[in-house]
Amino acid sequence: MMRPQSGGRTLKCGQRRLQLDRPCVMGILNVTPDSFSDGGHHDALDAARRHAERLLTEGAAIIDVGGESTRPGAEGVPLERERERVLPVVEMLVREFDALVSVDTSAPEIMTEVAAAGAGMINDVRSLTRPGALEAAAATDLPVCLMHMLGEPQTMQRAPHYDQPIETAVVDFLESQIARCERAGISRERLILDPGFGFAKTLEHNLRLLNRMDALEALELPLLVGMSRKSMVGKTLGRGVDERLPGSLALAVMAVERGGHIIRVHDVAPTVDAVNMTWAVLQERIDHE
């Protein structure tokens, strides 16, 4: 099994810094009415504030704010609506909590505006492929998470197929996106990679990819892994969205064992415990090698 990379790397996130010498947890704050798990729960500013405070108290190192659902079949959101959802929340999190905020967006205009509002990271499921996104992300000087996905959320789960092993397809795709970023002036030091569990992948793809996450080690960049409450848990265990915590915790542990640096989840407190316990066991091995 692959172990998390250590060595004290620090990621500069605007005015803040994120230590990546051990795995950390990213808490999800969806300010949307239609996200698959928590849609409509935190789309008012007061509700977002309360939930963010809880996530931070429970140990989240990063709050990931999303204003557009990217669940399978989700429809796109007009730019102005995404702006109205996301920008006040980012400003509130920075002002009131001095939080390290990641913004889950593909819109170049939103990237520019949230960077000016104090966000510390861009998390783009479309890997900066929308027109102007690459240039906008480069200009922010913020870290960017590039995720593997084919197609769009509306269509990505319609019989996804690959002509090569899924881990090879993911590595090849991410290598090409890294090269695009470097040509645009985004250095490797600013990049984080997400294998894209649940995005244009069948259950079999997801299980194989998790088993073979060591293939991504060759890219030598931090890994963000998000499997919390996803359908791979539901299909495997026969559980509804609200019954997937045990399965999600198991996946978080395996992600850490396989080199995950940032674990993106809905349920922060139990995941922090699971991640810290896993890291303690792995660290004992590292210390005695």
Name the nearest CA neighbour of 144 among 6, 11, 8.
Answer: 11
Tell me, yes or no, if 12 is annotated catalytic: no
Tell me if 1 is assigned to some domain: no
- The neighbouring-strand residues paired with 263 are 25, 225
Tell me if 2 is assigned to some domain: no
Name the nearest CA neighbour of 224 among 55, 11, 1, 8.
Answer: 11
Instruction: Supply 142's token pair.
Output: 């913020």
Q: 131 lies in which domain range?
A: 10-287
Element (H, E) at 262: strand 262-265
Name the nearest CA neighbour of 245 among 232, 234, 229, 231.
Answer: 229
The pLDDT value given to residue 74: 61
DSSP 259: T
Tell me if 161 is assigned to some domain: yes
Q: Are 111 and 137 within 8 A, CB to CB?
A: yes
Q: What does the pLDDT profile of the chain (289 residues) look like in tens digits?
A: 555 554 458 899 999 999 999 999 999 999 987 444 544 455 689 999 999 999 999 999 999 999 987 766 666 789 999 999 999 999 999 999 999 999 999 999 999 999 999 999 999 999 999 999 999 999 999 999 999 998 766 665 667 889 999 999 999 999 999 999 999 999 999 999 999 999 999 999 999 999 999 999 999 999 999 999 999 999 999 999 999 999 999 999 999 999 999 999 999 999 999 999 999 999 988 777 6
Element (H, E) at 104: strand 101-104
Tell me, yes or no, if 230 is annotated catalytic: yes
Tell me if 123 is assigned to some domain: yes
The pLDDT value given to residue 287: 76
Which residue among 83, 190, 212, 230 is the active-site one? Answer: 230
The enclosing domain of 272 has a CATH number of 3.20.20.20
Give the dihedral sign, CA 190/56/104/247.
Answer: positive
Residue type, 170: V
Predicted TM-score (pTM) of the model is 0.91
| CA distance linking residue 50 with residue 195, whole number of Å | 30
Tell me if 251 is assigned to some domain: yes
Q: Give the number of domains in the chain.
A: 1
